[in-house]
Structure 1
Amino acid sequence: MIKHRSQVTPWKGMKEVAIRSLRKTRPAPVLRHARAEGKAAGYRAGWDHGYWFGQCESIVSRIAPPPMPIRSVHILYVATGKGFPYSPLDEAVASALRGLVGQLTVIDANQPVAEIAERLRPDLVLVLDGLQFDAKHIIAMRASGIRTAVWFTDDPYYTDITSTLAPLYDEVFTLERNCVEYYQRLGCQRVYYLPLGVNPSEFRPMNPPRAMRKEISFVGSAYWKRVEFFNQTAPYLASKDTLISGIWWERLKDFQLLKPKITLGRWMDPLETAHTYNGSKIVINMHRAHDDETFNNNSALIPAYSPNPRTFEISACATLQLTDIRDDLALYYTPGVEIVTYSSPQEMIEKIEYYLTHEDERREIALRGMARTRREHTYTHRLNVMLGLLFP
């Protein structure tokens, strides 16, 4: 039976009206053209990134890991045991050590380390970070004649704590050059400067999901000195395709302006961080201030000269890194050639604008930075230096 018009359900009638309206406003040729344009743009973007990714992989394949000596020693490695975000660092160091020593035993700071060391009698006990490692284990091991070393990973920001720990060890390694003399003045006989590095199996060129592609990104916590800086750049960053990820960013004066671009209150794992770096045309790096008010235990006000681990991780992803200046930075990268620096909010904005519109220059610098990182700044390189100092 044929229904009377009044019997047609309202939603069906509305649907028919919407379809007729769409056909009137968007003729079929226009829709086909829009689809064709979208398909072509997607093809161009895919081809461009595929070509870029191929360039990166070509360079990676040509940088063979240098031959490293395997030392016939037994290392008892004490990882931090703190969980995320330290767990990737724990594993990166363990992974590098496995290829450099004849025997490696891995435990963490929450285990009965002194008891295990007494039973195994390793050639060296290496403690990573050590801030939450009970000092009684160090004292007991040294009393038993077991050689100990620590690698401090957060200097100079916790020197109020590390100053009491460093003298307990036979060997002290620090990622901050300015802390070497500081520990020597405390009576430490053997102190070495050794920055952190990068795990190239985690931080490397990748093809991230399309949704993660951005013009600019910054990953890190909103310490107060960073907030002061970002307050001056907020209107500009809000006008760009920007991503900011980390904790405490609600401290920003213009938080509401930047809120749609901020992923607040969470830590990224290494894979997501690497995808974020790979998906960005420019990644901002801003070092933590040595005198910041947030989580700072540096009453001696030891200045920070050395680059943070993020410096190596960003460059390893073949992304242009725009970083603030650290005195030691030029020891690891050539500014303007392998990395780009800024010294003020205005200079940062100017350089972002420049490199967003100079694609070839941006990519060339990023490729050179990635190649330098893989040749010189992996954890395998760092641990080989450490072992060379400990076991000449």
Structure 2
Amino acid sequence: MNYRYRVLFTANNPYDPALELPVLSALKYLGYEVETCDATLKPFGSRLLFRIGRRLFKSRSSYLWNKLLRISTWFTQRKVLQAVRKFKPDIFLAIKAKEVEVGTINKLKNMGIVTVNWYMEGIWHQSVSILAPVYDHFFIMDEYSVSVLKDRGIKNVYFLPHGTRLDPVQANISKELERIYDIAFVGTPVPIREKNFGTLAGFNLNLWGSPEWQNTQLRKFYRGQVFGKQLDDIYRQSKIVINCHPPDGNSTNLRDFESISNGALLISDYKPALAELFIENKEIIFYRDMKELPDLVSYYLKHADERSMIAKAGQSAVLAKHTIKS
């Protein structure tokens, strides 16, 4: 009988259906013995009490608030080490999990445990530069960040893009919904997105995600927050999904794969990393300047057959090559 490697899995939210649960499912599918450890920082034991505590203490006493965070951080490290001693893993796999401190990771390595992190951001996140040198293997979804870190002498860092959740997507293929939204985006407003998407103000634009959209010039297009199946349904009901990545970097994000896998046409800003994964004008459409975006959107809204052909080709590519399990 082949040995089953034991993996202790943790994440910012190890029970998140959007990403962490599919990773957990994929590990089990591949034959690993997996145990989860919730290392989320919860100063009062829950997110609700955390928010209440932040209101009560942070604005009134930074000393008390910082003291509370340190105590909570200590309990988080203790929880991880207790889980390790109980489960005795071969591998410690973290998805971001920036709450797990450097000292704790070093303790795991001293126990002979292989430490791995899939940190789905780039060097614009301060934690990346702190954690990358510590883990045995550090994966990020931005090729530019990989090159920067390697230039700093950190050799254990690798490019690993996102993937889509295979099982829910397969179930959705046979349940086609009417595509009632011309243009959709789900995510957080940042200046470059506000600028690019502002060129589409004359279209049927629909924005979901962070309530911060209500503080922008695009507030009238904001439709609310969506999660899980709601998110999938938005993509399944959208003709075109637009995307805009961080300007400094060469990254992919989860939105690329989830939108395409749900049968929408993705029109994205050009990123070489994304162009290596999908064939331009056959599986994905790129814009290289925001001035191109309105013309591309207008063209593919008017040419439904061509839009559908590219969207279906992209969907087939995702399911064949870019799932969490693959």
Question: After TM superposition, is the score higher than 0.5?
Answer: yes
Indicate which of 141, 145, 167 corresponds to 1:201.
Answer: 167
The offset of 1:252, in angstroms, is 3.3
CA contact (8 A) 1:226 1:288 kept: no
Paired position in structure 1 for 2:54: none
1:326 to 271, 275, 283: 271
Instruction: Mark the runs of 5 or more structure 2 residues left unpaired by the alignment.
Output: 41-75
Residue type of the partner of 2:129?
S
Relative to 1, partners in 2 of residues 1:101 and 1:263: Cα closer, same or farther, differing over 3 Å? same
Matches within 5 A, 1:128-139: 128-139=95-106
Q: Deviations over 1:194-221 (max 9, x none)?
A: 11111022344364766x7222212121
Deviation at 1:271, TM superposition (A): 0.9
Is this contact kept in 2: 1:114–1:138, CA < 8 A?
no
Indicate if the aligned counterparts of 1:198 and 1:312 stay in contact, CA closer than 8 A.
yes
**Which of 181, 186, 190 is equivalent to 1:223?**
190
TM-score, scaled relative to structure 2: 0.80
> 3-state DSSP class of the match of 2:92?
strand
Query: For 1:173, which of 117, 126, 139 is the aligned residue?
Result: 139
**Deviation for aligned residue 1:187:** 4.3
**2: CA distance, partners of 1:286 / 1:78:** 29
**Segment drifting more, 122-131 vs 244-253:** 244-253
Match of 1:106 in 2: 36
| Residues 369 and 137 of structure 1, relative CA distance in 2, 3 Å threshold | same
Residue 13 of structure 2 aligns to which amino acid in structure 1? G
CA separation in 2, counterparts of 1:209 and 1:181? 42
Aligned to 2:21: 91
Deviation at 1:120, TM superposition (A): 2.9
Relative distance call for 1:71 and 1:99 in structure 2 (3 A) is farther
Determine the structure 2 residue equivalent to 1:283. 241
Q: CA-to-partner distance for each residue in 1:183-202, whole Å, 9 max, x for gaps?
A: 33444342221111110223
Residue 285 of structure 2 is matched in structure 1 by 340
- Identity within the alignment, %: 27
CA distance in 1, matches of 2:145, 2:288: 24
CA distance in 2, matches of 1:329, 1:71: 36
**Do 1:155 and 1:176's aligned partners in 2 also have CA atoms closer than 8 Å?**
yes
Find out whether 1:188 has 2:154 as its counterpart: yes
Deviation of the 1:278 alpha carbon:
0.9
- C-alpha contact 2:144 2:250 (8 A) present in aligned 1: yes
- Which of residues 9, 24, 40 in structure 2 aligns to 1:77? 9
Corresponding pairs, count: 285
Tell me the TM-score normalized by structure 1.
0.67
Structure-2 change in CA distance of 1:97 and 1:218 (3 Å): same
Paired residue for 1:161, among 127, 152, 155?
127
- In structure 2, do the counterparts of structure 1 residues 152 and 332 end up closer, same or farther at CA, with 3 Å as the change threshold? same
Q: 1:134 to 1:87 in 2, by over 3 A?
A: farther
C-alpha distance in 1 between matches for 2:185 and 2:176:
16
Superposed counterparts of 1:213-252, under 5 Å = 213-234=180-201, 236-237=202-203, 240=204, 242-247=205-210, 248-252=212-216
C-alpha displacement of 1:181: 3.0
Paired letter, 2:161: P
1-side partners of 2:261 and 2:245: how far apart?
18
SS of 1:149 mapped into structure 2: strand
Shift of residue 87, structure 1, vs aligned partner: 5.2
Instruction: Determine if contact 1:216/1:283 at 8 Å carries over to the other structure.
Output: yes
Structure 1 contact 71–100 (Cα < 8 Å) conserved: no
Asked if 1 retains the 8 angstrom alpha-carbon contact of 2:102 and 2:131, the reply is yes
Q: In structure 2, what residue type is equivalent to 1:188?
A: I
Distance 1:376 1:278 in 2: 20
| TM-aligned CA deviation for residue 249 of structure 1 | 1.9
Structure 1 residue 161, shift from structure 2 partner: 2.0
Q: Shift in Å at residue 346 of structure 1? A: 3.2
Q: Give the aligned partner of residue 39 of structure 1.
A: none
The one-letter code sitting in structure 1 at the alignment partner of 2:136 is D
The 1:305–1:315 alpha-carbon spacing in structure 2 relative to 1, beyond 3 Å, is same
C-alpha separation in 1, matches of 2:17 and 2:239: 28
* Larger Cα-atom Rg: 1
Counterpart amino acid of residue 342 in structure 1: Y
Q: Output the CA distance in 2 between the equivalents of 1:250 and 1:120.
A: 46
